[in-house]
Chains A and B, each alone.
Chain A
Amino acid sequence: MSRAFLTGNHAAGYALVAAGEANRGARGCCGGVYPITPQTEIIEYLSAARFSRGAIVPVESEHSAMAVCMGASLNGGRSFTASSANGLLYMVENVFAAGYYRLPIVTVVSNRTIGPPWNLWVDQGDSLALRDAPCLQFYCESHQDLVDTILVAFRVGEDARILLPALVAQDGFLLSHTQMVLDLPEQELVDRYLPPLDLAHRLNQAHPRTYGGMTWPRDTEKQREEIQDAMDLVPTVLEEALNEFASVFGRRPDGAFSAELTTDADTVLVANSTMVRTAREVVKSRRAAGERVGLVKAKLFRPFLRDQFEKAIGAARRVAVLDRNHSPGSGGIFWTEIATSLRTRSDVLLQDYVVGLGGIDVTPAVIEGILDDVQRRDGSVAPLFIPEAAL
């Protein structure tokens, strides 16, 4: 295990290269890439890599970047790319297509605000716009979490029971451009962790298939059901992947939800990405002051494991959701999922807080304000924007 001091983007680049390299004994790897702030250093890292059997193709758009990935994956290669904000939105059609072709392509997203107006800072509206895509979604809190989760995403996505693409998200700038010390998984261990990709439905002259041709409604419905079936198996496959990760690398990445200090907690904060780290400090200090507060880290957004979420909050009666995203006319997007998960729990006061939009800092003071607000409220109201919530 080697210690390193890297930016989130370079850490992500390292993990993608290691994953691609791990398929050198099979059909190799290939990714289409296109720059956009704040992920650009990832694709620069990929472009500078020397693969034993791999190719990086700098294309003319994100739409084509994913199309190159699809072609590579259909031909049996391990495939990956990275994007952000409007670039990811430009890619959307082909992310859906990758899922419907059942191709396990991993896309690292350095989250950024969708424009116009143009804003480079973090906001999760970009990857969450892919809420309804046939695609896994992970949100990472640290450089270590990011590197580990990228490897886990390949392992889960390529599993024959799953065969779906994955987005692995990090907060733009907050992770992508800051440096942290982390353990870099060595190639030899990555080789052990990621078996050679064996895509049973890859292009094959001996079995000439038509991929993505016309279907009638019933067959389409069946295809969608199969994707749901695959999503339903993610908890099982993810658990196996995390256990295997622990046995190979000696540490266990977080799963779908991590409950921290939730035993006997009355109030639980739900956060994802870097907000987890700030919320953790606030929760610890409140605990030290004798308050029964806890934290749930929400890492896996798709599939959204409702049962696991309900378990994670334990006996808490007040749940505050931090959403660094906003669906106009609805509210926070994690909150929407959580409200569905708790639909039978009339005993729980669930309040959504839309925070940090467009890259506003979510400071300890902001989270303190949210905890104060949720603890004193008589009932929940429509999602609160932070200026209101911080009162």
Chain B
Amino acid sequence: MNTGAPAHTHRPRGEALWRPGNGACVGCGMSLGLQWLDQALDEVRPYMIVPASCAVVTPGSHPNTAFGVPMVASTFASSAAVATGVSRIAKLNGETDPIVCWAGDGGTYDIGMATLSAAAERNEDVIYFCYDNEIYGNTGGQRSSATLPGAKTTTTPIGKREPKKDIMAIMAAHRVPYAATLSLGHRDDFMRKMQTALRIAGFRFLVMLSPCPAGWKSDPAEGIDLARAAVDSGLFPLYEVFDGMRYRINARPDGTPLTDYTSRQGRFKSKSLDVKAMEAAITEQWAYLEGMEQVFPAAGTDAPID
């Protein structure tokens, strides 16, 4: 007889979506992101769909789990499709709890890309949250298509040669109702974007730069500073795209040198790091974003304005 399948771990609900006692590393951006997600949701309880990632390993092993809400640990490529099935049945039954995919960059930029693209194209009623630490962190730090050029990983030992995939451009090209970048260095902006995402129906894509001390070879205490430096140097622009067309930039570079970001991370101590080339790419990216915001501004539309 079935005595209760051990694959289904059950603990009484705590007050937190992401409870203390989890096994996330000190300084883990993903762990902090989950806590902020919880705060943004307030009383709302989500269903979490989490593909293979640190967010599946760090909750702990059966019968323990750090997740205080229903969480499905999906197969690696499947989170957006599993979320689709959950969402369709919820809709048929008039249920409105948000369905949140919580995936790393490997599960988003790489193996989950086709699934993500299809769910976005179908405009499924799902919030897809990518915590992007720019590596396969869970397996010990291999390159993904989110890894920055010049960054050393265990599969790019002399530094990655290729640029980082522009996931926001890809998602915007799907004309999803909402796409936004989030930073742990900008909490108010993070919370506002979560609120915006919760107000909008359809497919919502959020990507957060997620400091990973183990993979970035950085001081765990500096994660928030690094996230802020990534924004201030212009490397990780904070912006929103409504309906894939209308742009709003939320923070502009303040002159912080890119080296303030790269010099504090062991992953960039590589001979292939080309700061000048990265700066040139940042300048180009900003010209593109500014141009888009100017020609297709979000302001003046029905997009939610602060």
Contacts and interface: CB of A to CB of B under 8 A. Distances in A.
B191 interface: no
Nearest to A28: B92
A242 interface: no
Interface in B1-28: 1-11, 13
Contacts of B11: 208
Q: Is the interface of B mostly helix, strand, loop or mixed?
A: mixed
A209 B85 contact: no
B237 interface: no
A71 interface: yes
Given A32-B81, A75-B86, A203 B47 contact: yes
B179 interface: no
A211 B85 contact: no
A208 B72 CA distance: 10
Contact of B1 (A161, A215, A219): A161
Contact of A102 (B5, B93, B118): B5
Contacts of B57: 214
A97 interface: yes
Given A102-B7, A209-B10, A213-B62, A204 B70 contact: yes
B2 A160 contact: yes
Given A63-B78, A205-B69, A226 B8 contact: no
Contacts of A65: 81
Contact of B89 (A28, A60, A211): A28
Contacts of A28: 89, 92-93
Q: Is the interface of A mostly helix, strand, loop or mixed?
A: mixed
A79 interface: yes
B187 interface: no
Interface string B72-102: 1111011011111111111111000100000
Given A74-B82, A75-B90, A60 B60 contact: no
B92 A79 contact: no
Given A59-B81, A68-B85, A209 B5 contact: no
B202 to A, nearest CB: 15
Interface residues of A, number: 58
Interface stretch (A49-57, A146-154, A171-179, A374-382): A49-57
Interface in A56-88: 57, 59-61, 63-65, 67-77, 79
B7 A223 contact: yes
Contacts of B10: 207-209
B68 interface: yes
Task: Sort chain B's interface into a size bin.
Answer: 35 or more
Interface in A192-229: 201, 203-216, 219-220, 222-223, 226, 229
A279 interface: no
A94 interface: yes
A71 B7 CA distance: 15
Contacts of B287: none
Contact of B115 (A64, A97, A213): A64
B89 A27 contact: yes
Contact of B56 (A63, A68, A209, A214): A214
B9 A75 contact: no
A101 B86 CA distance: 14
Contact of A223 (B6, B60, B67, B122): B6
B177 to A, nearest CB: 19
B71 A93 contact: no
A213 B71 contact: yes
A57 B75 contact: no
B299 interface: no
Contacts of A203: 47, 70, 72, 86
B107 interface: no
Contacts of A69: 85
Nearest to A226: B2
A75 B89 contact: yes
B128 to A, nearest CB: 14
Question: Which of A70, A93, A208, A222 counts the most B-chain CB atoms under 10 A from its CB?
Answer: A208
A58 to B, nearest CB: 8
Contacts of A223: 5-7
B68 A208 contact: yes
Contacts of A93: 75
What 3 pairs across the A-B complex have the smallest Cβ distances? A71-B85, A67-B81, A60-B118
Interface of B: 1-11, 13, 45, 47, 49, 56-57, 59-62, 65, 67-75, 77-78, 80-93, 97, 114-115, 117-118, 122
